[in-house]
Amino acid sequence: MDMYQIDYSHPVHIHFIGIGGISMSGLAAVLLDRGFTVTGSDSRRSPLTDLLEEKGARIRIGQSADNIEPSTAAVVYTAAIHADNPEFAAAKAAGIPMLTRAALLGQMMDHYADSAAVAGTHGKTTTTSMLSHILLAADMDPTISVGGILPVIGGNIRVGASAHFVTEACEYTNSFLHLRPLVGIILNIDADHLDFFKDLDDIRHSFRLFAEGIREGGSLVVPASLPDLAGFTEGLDANVITFGLEQSADYAAGEVEFDDNACASFTLYVHGEAAGRFTLKVPGGHNVLNALAAIAAADVMGASREAQQEGLSSFIGAERRFEYKGRRGGVTVIDDYAHHPTEISATLDTARKVPCRTLWCVFQPHTYTRTKALLDDFAKALSAADRVVLADIYAARETDTLGVSSKLLAEKISALGTTAEYFPTFAEIEEHLRRSCTDGDLLITMGAGNIAAVGEDFLKD
């Protein structure tokens, strides 16, 4: 089968297996806007599938070989779809060209002269959102594909009419190697997705390949603190731009101050020269670094300093990124997507800047491989809370064959001196929280699965 090559001037019928995913739905929306016929399937309905249907997509719930229509010119699928999927098998048997979500994203990016791809183990959605806010403030009419719901665009996708394109670049299964951006951003490189990568060196090698894929004349935005930065960037054709708290970085932050909500203000220094004061509306010191990366990319893309200041000051966060959910009985409820020890540490450090009586963390580990590989790191990171409550591991794409459990994680946290308890059901967790949380407490639900439901139910009367 030949690889399908997208051609915006010749729209055809494209079918998406798993169309309701945050990234798949965004790509489908772009093609719909370009006049393509879009069909798709998913296991359940969602606000994203509803929105696509409003735009003209035909979506079926449940996956069946009958969903592959004779008019289908190409089929798009994600890494979660395997050869035994009935639609995958039917398309292959019919000789229909097939391509991964990442390959389609890469082909779409090639249609935009001024593109930015945001990579990194942590912070991709937030930084993509920050850069998007800046380009919108600059009236640059960008096309945006973000891995979360961004309120300013009313969803996860915005289709613009300009040459500017901004997207996240996911490293899992080396998806980001399909991308050829003009501006490549690497926020950090950490050990994760160890069900695919062998180790940190393997991950670092993939990020290097991502950097090598930056277009001729393009730029790489990278942390000044990246271990062996000189070795990592040696021989790259891209212009290397560093960011960080170090004053030696090309883009640095100084005079950092935090308000009562842990949101930072800082002075931007570009090549050692003061270049304006910035105020963020999202909490945490890690967001200063995310903002610096977004500013550096925005400079390359031509956004004014005033637009950068306006865009960042208007960004109040994407869904599930230290998202305020409400208050009940004097207990403040926050929800956060953190599912890696580094992210957990950053989130709890941010929470510590918010005055509270007791800091509760209700954590749902995500995947057995990640939990087993980083078990001690999870325990150490979570021990920064005053009280920890563990839900069962969210399996996602995996099955339990590794002998790791949330109960074991709770025991390790307790051994470090922090009270940690495990409950097998959300109902038991909610009952425990209602009984134990008191006025002045801060409660954070945390994880990449469905743990947000615990906080939402806690807030109900």
Q: Are 309 and 278 in contact (CB under 8 A)?
A: yes
Side by side, the strands of the sheet bearing 13-17 are 58-61, 37-42, 13-17, 74-77, 98-100
Give the active site residue among 121, 167, 168, 242.
Answer: 168
Q: Are 315 and 129 in contact (CB under 8 A)?
A: yes
Q: Are 334 and 322 in contact (CB under 8 A)?
A: yes
Q: How large is the greatest C-alpha to C-alpha distance in the chain, in angstroms? A: 63
Burial class (CB in 10 A: 0-12, 13-18, 19+), 275: middle
Q: Is 168 an annotated catalytic residue?
A: yes
- Closest to 100 measured CA to CA, from 8, 7, 18, 10: 18
- Closest to 15 measured CA to CA, from 63, 65, 82, 68: 68
Q: Is 49 an annotated catalytic residue?
A: no
Q: What is the DSSP letter of 117?
A: E
- Closest to 253 measured CA to CA, from 229, 294, 296, 288: 288
Q: Provide the β-strand partners of residue 390.
A: 363, 422
How many CB atoms within 10 Å of residue 159?
A: 18
Q: How far is CA 50 from the centre of its chain?
A: 22
Give the active site residue among 37, 39, 121, 125.
Answer: 125
| Rounded alpha-carbon distances, angstroms, from residue 29 to 24, 37, 52 | 9, 11, 7
- Closest to 322 measured CA to CA, from 364, 350, 288: 350
Instruction: Give the tokens for residue 75.
Output: 């089929």
Q: Are 159 and 37 in contact (CB under 8 A)?
A: no
Q: DSSP labels for 214-263?
A: SPTT-EEEEETTSTTHHHHHTT-SSEEEEEESSTTSSEEEEEEEE-TTSE
| Rounded alpha-carbon distances, angstroms, from residue 265 to 244, 309, 343 | 15, 11, 21
Q: Is 125 an annotated catalytic residue?
A: yes
Distance separating alpha carbons of residues 52 and 126, to the nearest angstrom: 24
Cα-atom radius of gyration of the chain, to the nearest Å?
A: 22
- Closest to 213 measured CA to CA, from 165, 239, 176, 167: 176
Angle between helices 341-352 and 375-382 (to 10 degrees): 0
Residues recognised as catalytic: 124-125, 168
